[in-house]
């Protein structure tokens, strides 16, 4: 009725209630909106703790996020980066990317820390080295279309973008599910797999 999307309404709520430049408070305000107003398919606080733990353990200097959506996961990742690290995040939907850009900058992250790339992941990944200067990635966070998980992992492999010992963190592989991705990861012999049990966001 308002002519604005759920994502835009969530951003308006952030503008009214969140503390600019405070990533933690930005995420808390997002959570309040999703719990009490409208559901958004963000990572959420429960799975967010898993992401935070992996970032702390791995301390990656180059991080790639597939599926920016509203920027919740981007802010979550960016606030856990070690000094000098850089996050590249890819979003295929220009409308979502427009909201995410504002959320990321509201949280206080510059383009030097977080680079948002708009376009289909299958087109962007092959250009990451030449166009965006990303030579190798230490951690990949997959939170886009589940059917694209395996295709994009194979793209990262074929373009030799995965650093030695790189970590792939993939959301919602059991439900809605990414069975082909899971099967490949478990049987190809390149990865050690661990499933983190968590509830759906909110």
CA atoms lying within 13 Å on the CB side of residue 55? 26
Angle value at C-alpha 155, between 198 and 201, nearest 5 degrees: 20
Distances in whole angstroms, Cα of residue 87 to Cα of each of 66, 77, 179: 11, 8, 27
For the question of residue 146 being annotated catalytic, the response is: yes
Catalytic residue among 130, 146, 164, 186: 146
For the question of residue 171 being annotated catalytic, the response is: yes
Nearest CA among 90, 81, 138 for reference residue 115: 90
Tokens of 30: 């997002």
For the question of residue 172 being annotated catalytic, the response is: yes
For the question of residue 143 being annotated catalytic, the response is: yes
Catalytic residue among 57, 172, 186, 190: 172
Calpha distance 136→129 (Å, rounded): 8
Element containing residue 156 per DSSP (H, E): helix 149-158
Catalytic residue among 31, 101, 138, 143: 143
Catalytic residue among 7, 31, 152, 171: 171
For the question of residue 138 being annotated catalytic, the response is: no
Handedness of CA 36, 40, 46, 51 (dihedral sign): negative
Tokens of 23: 């990533």
Beta bridge partners of 73: none
Chain length of the chain: 202
Catalytic residue among 7, 31, 91, 201: 201
Q: Active-site positions?
A: 143, 146, 171-172, 201
């Amino acid at each position: 009725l308002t002519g604005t999307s759920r994502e835009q309404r969530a951003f308006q709520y952030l503008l009214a209630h969140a503390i600019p430049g405070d990533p933690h408070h930005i995420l808390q305000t997002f959570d309040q909106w999703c719990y009490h107003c409208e559901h958004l398919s963000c990572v959420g606080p429960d799975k967010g703790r898993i992401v935070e733990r992996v970032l702390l353990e791995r301390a990656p200097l180059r991080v790639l996020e597939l599926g920016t959506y509203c920027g919740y996961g981007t802010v979550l990742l960016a606030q856990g980066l070690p000094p000098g690290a850089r996050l590249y995040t890819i979003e295929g939907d220009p409308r979502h990317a427009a909201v995410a850009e504002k959320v990321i900058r509201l949280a206080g992250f510059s383009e030097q820390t977080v680079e948002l790339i708009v376009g289909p992941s299958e087109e962007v990944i092959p250009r990451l080295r030449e166009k965006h200067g990303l030579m190798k990635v230490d951690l990949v966070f997959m939170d886009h279309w589940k059917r694209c998980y395996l295709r994009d992992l194979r793209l990262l492999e074929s373009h030799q973008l995965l650093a030695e010992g790189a970590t792939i963190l993939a959301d919602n592989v059991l439900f809605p599910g990414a069975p082909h991705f899971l099967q490949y990861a478990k049987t190809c012999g390149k990865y050690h797999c661990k499933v983190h049990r968590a509830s759906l966001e909110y």
